[in-house]
Amino acid sequence: MPVPISSETHRRFGSRRGLTLIELIVAFTILATLTAMSVPLTKYKIRREREKELRYALREIHAAIDKYKDMADQNQLGTQKIDTDNYPEKLEVLVEGVKAQGAVDKKIRFLRRLPKDPMTGKAEWGMRSTRDDPKSNSWGGQNVFAVYSKSTEKDSSGTPYAEW
């Protein structure tokens, strides 16, 4: 059953229902301001998450390279090429695996898969050998001593991701 409207309420507000134009403008202005403030924060959060993923991927690959080097130094991976300095010849070796010393069918894998570079979205990394300049963007091809992102972007402090 509908609630009766008193005559004073009816006289004061009339038959007005809904919002006035000014109330709508104020409401939309507030919503627009809140939206405009949230967009940069969202972009910042996404960027920080990608940077975190990049750090993790680089740490994972470098740990695999170091483990390969340690095992090669201990002659657990058979004879290595002279030019490689006991580092892997290419990144794919870490995923494909290397025959263990003295084992017939045993392969040692250092990575399950090559992680994606979150900055480029591809599983392609820049590589440096032990004979390359540390700031070089070209790979000498002797071995894989280190990897870096091929992204040309910079972090918030201005450091290129390729130098991480």
Residue 12 lies in a domain: no
Query: Which residue segment(s) compose the domain that 82 sits in?
Result: 20-163
Which is higher by pLDDT, 27 or 138?
27
Residue 70 lies in a domain: yes
Residue 7 lies in a domain: no
Residue 5 lies in a domain: no
pLDDT at 13: 56
Residue 9 lies in a domain: no
- For residues 147 and 125, give the distance between their C-alpha atoms in angstroms, rounded to a whole number: 6
pLDDT at 106: 81
Which is higher by pLDDT, 30 or 80?
30
pLDDT at 110: 93
pLDDT at 147: 92
**Lowest-pLDDT choice from 49-58, 93-102, 106-115:** 93-102
CA distances from 15 to 18, 20, 73, 147 (A): 10, 13, 89, 72
Q: How far is CA 22 from the centre of its chain?
A: 46
* Domain count across the chain: 1
Residue 43 lies in a domain: yes
The pair of three-digit structure tokens given for residue 29, joined into one six-digit string = 């202005």
pLDDT at 15: 58
Please name the residues in contact with 55: beta carbons below 8 A apart, sequence gap of 6 or more.
164
Residue 10 lies in a domain: no
pLDDT at 11: 58
Residue 65 lies in a domain: yes
What global pTM score does this model have? 0.72
Mean pLDDT, residues 67-82 taken together: 86
62, 164 contact by CB (below 8 A): no
pLDDT at 103: 65
Q: How confident is the model at residue 2 (pLDDT cuts 50, 70, 90)?
A: low
